[in-house]
Structure 1
Amino acid sequence: MSPYALSMMLSSLSLGTLMTFISHHWFLAWMGLEINTLAIIPLMTKLHHPRATESATKYFLIQASASALILFSSTINAWLTGEWTILNMEIPLSLTMITIALAMKLGIAPFHLWMPDVLQGLNLMTGLIMSTWQKMAPMALLLLLHQQLNSNLLMIMALLSTIGGGWGGLNQTQLRKIMAYSSIAHIGWMLLVLTFSSHLTAMNFMMYLLLTSSMFIMLINFSALNINKLSTSWIKTPILTSMMMILLMSLGGLPPTSGFIPKWLILQEITKQNYMLMAIMVTFAALLSLFFYLRLSYTISLTTSPNMSNSKFIWRLKTKPIYLLSMVTVLSIMLLPITPLMTNIY
């Protein structure tokens, strides 16, 4: 892709997300989501591969359907109330349709089946954008609407997402599909506490962005698309590979890593709200996700051949330092001691 076209697409991505961030009018928010969707389509198809074209087509159809549903529900709300303001959603039908549309855009269960297939057809850099930046605008709208949303509907979708994200990733060998199911499970945890404590959802979302960015940048550095490719990573870069093992534990939410922060606080909050059964169910669902993170760690560390490769040092010389990776990896692993500070900020 031409550098000029690439800069235009990335600028349009930023513009669409920022338009949705600053909007208080449903039509402006819809325009931002549309610009965001149309800007990433050329990035998805730049590989000129049938699989990439299929992913782009699926993504466009899902996002177009969700955008049409947003426009339809906001029009009904404006027709009955006389206002297009985002914070003035008084019609239950419109609120339910908006929730379903944003769930489609975010890949929340039961509207999540498009995400693993779409992510599988992309390269790792575009997959990073899809898993992080593309979720910011719909999540911002959910955070704006959190006081008006139906908590029972959100908790049902959250439970389905945590179970579906964990169950779907169990038998996967492709790393991009594993990251897609990981994203579905993480967003389920965010929805679980959205109506009770939106600042915990925002904190969980920022932690998710940090952990997912770290994992994708590591995979880009290894050029790894499946589990078998990771089995040789210890020979290439043993220090970075050991950091990846700790990062996988952080994605699973094990202490004393940074990923333990949101799960701990969210379980505490829904326990305060007397949803004990829900807390137990999502905790067991988190064990499903933890299983395939542990399986990746096992592949990285315990399946390396005892024979040393002759080209070991050549591979190491090809590895270049990535300063962004070092920064996000440290943040993804070592933020647990400042949990009280993070909670006081909100």
Structure 2
Amino acid sequence: MSPPIFMLILSSLATGTIIVMTSHHWLFAWLGLEMNTLAIIPTMATLHSPRSTEAATKYFLTQAAASAMILFSSLINAWQVGTWDIVNMTSPPAYILLTMALAMKLGLPPMHFWLPEVLQGVTLFTALVISTWQKLAPLTLISLTVNNLSTPILIILGLLSTIMGGWGGLNQTQTRKIIAYSSIAHLGWMISISSIMINMMILNLLIYLILTTGLFSFLILAQSKTIQDTMMTWTLSPILTSTMMILLLSLGGLPPLTGFMPKWLILQELIFQNLTSVATMLAMATLLSLFFYLRLTYTVSLTLSPNMVQTKFKWRFKSLFMTPYLMAFSVTSILFLPMTPLLLL
């Protein structure tokens, strides 16, 4: 893909998200979502392989169906309430349908089956865009309509996402599928707290974006597509491999690192709201995600120098394009936890 066309696609992608974030009318929000979908499709089909074509088709059909459901729910609300404002979603059938449509767009259970297959069929950079940037527009709509959405439905969706995200990633060997199920699990935490404290959801989203971007930057730099590939990353840079190990532990939510901060604050807020059973189920379900993070950490650190590996080194280009991003996001993922008291003021 030529650089001008690539920049046009990226600008269209950013414009669609900005339109959703700044719109007050459902038609403009739907227009921004469609721009997002149509802009990402050409980047998904750049590989010219049956797998990428299948992924692009699945993504297009899923997102088009979800956008149609959003338009239909806004039409029902406008018919009963008489307004197209996003913040006035007060009709029960409309907001239930809207919740299901946004869950389909985000990849929340039980509408999550498309996300791992789509990420597996695209390049690592496109998977990074789908896992991070493409989550912003649906989560913006959730934050705008959260006062009218059903809190029990959101909590149930959050619990299902955390359980299915951890459970589905246990038997995966492809790093993109592991990150897909990790994304589902992290979205479960965001959705669970969205109707209780929206600021906590935004903080969790910010940390999720930082950690996932850092992890994808490392995978792109090392060209690691399977767990077996991650065992040879020390041949590229032992320092980056050690940073990757800490980044994976941060994604798992271990206490000294940044990934523990949103989970700690969310559990604390759920307990304050007398939702101790929900907090307990979330904490237990995240242990499943922690298992495959620890498995990845083990495979990454197992072959660190001075261990001798009796296998041939994987030949690769030494690209330094993602290195500045990787170091910036990795340092943030490690050292952001001491700033927690400043964020709580």
Tell whether the structures are fold-level matches, with TM greater than 0.5.
yes
After TM superposition, list the pairs within 5 Å mapping 1:2-81 onto structure 2: 2-81=2-81
Partner of 1:328: 329
Cα deviation digits, residues 97-142 of structure 1 (max 9, x gap): 1110010000111111110000000100000000000010000010
Which amino acid in the other structure matches residue 263 of structure 1? K
Cα distance in 2 for partners of 1:142, 1:298 equals: 37
After TM superposition, list the pairs within 5 Å mapping 1:82-231 onto structure 2: 82-231=82-231
Cα distance in 1 for partners of 2:124, 2:329 equals: 17
After TM superposition, list the pairs within 5 Å mapping 1:236-255 onto structure 2: 236-255=236-255
Partner of 2:257: 257
Cα distance in 2 for partners of 1:274, 1:108 equals: 25
How many residues align structurally? 343
After TM superposition, list the pairs within 5 Å mapping 1:277-316 onto structure 2: 277-303=277-303, 306-307=307-308
Give unpaired runs (5+ residues) of structure 1: none
Secondary structure of 1:257's aligned partner: coil
Secondary structure of 2:340's aligned partner: helix
- Contact 2:146–2:195 (CA under 8 A) maintained in structure 1: yes
Shift of residue 340, structure 1, vs aligned partner? 1.3
Shift of residue 309, structure 1, vs aligned partner? 7.8
Which amino acid in the other structure matches residue 341 of structure 1? L
Cα distance in 1 for partners of 2:196, 2:339 equals: 23
Which amino acid in the other structure matches residue 237 of structure 1? S
Cα deviation digits, residues 230-263 of structure 1 (max 9, x gap): 1111232110000111001100111110001100
Secondary structure of 2:255's aligned partner: coil
Which amino acid in the other structure matches residue 168 of structure 1? G
Secondary structure of 1:62's aligned partner: helix
152-161 or 300-309, which deviates more: 300-309
Cα distance in 2 for partners of 1:97, 1:186 equals: 23
Secondary structure of 1:318's aligned partner: coil
Q: Percent identity over the alignment? A: 54
Which amino acid in the other structure matches residue 285 of structure 1? A
Cα distance in 1 for partners of 2:22, 2:131 equals: 22
Which amino acid in the other structure matches residue 223 of structure 1? Q
Shift of residue 303, structure 1, vs aligned partner? 4.6
Shift of residue 15, structure 1, vs aligned partner? 0.6
Cα distance in 2 for partners of 1:328, 1:118 equals: 25
Shift of residue 343, structure 1, vs aligned partner? 2.4
Which amino acid in the other structure matches residue 342 of structure 1? L
Cα distance in 1 for partners of 2:309, 2:100 equals: 53
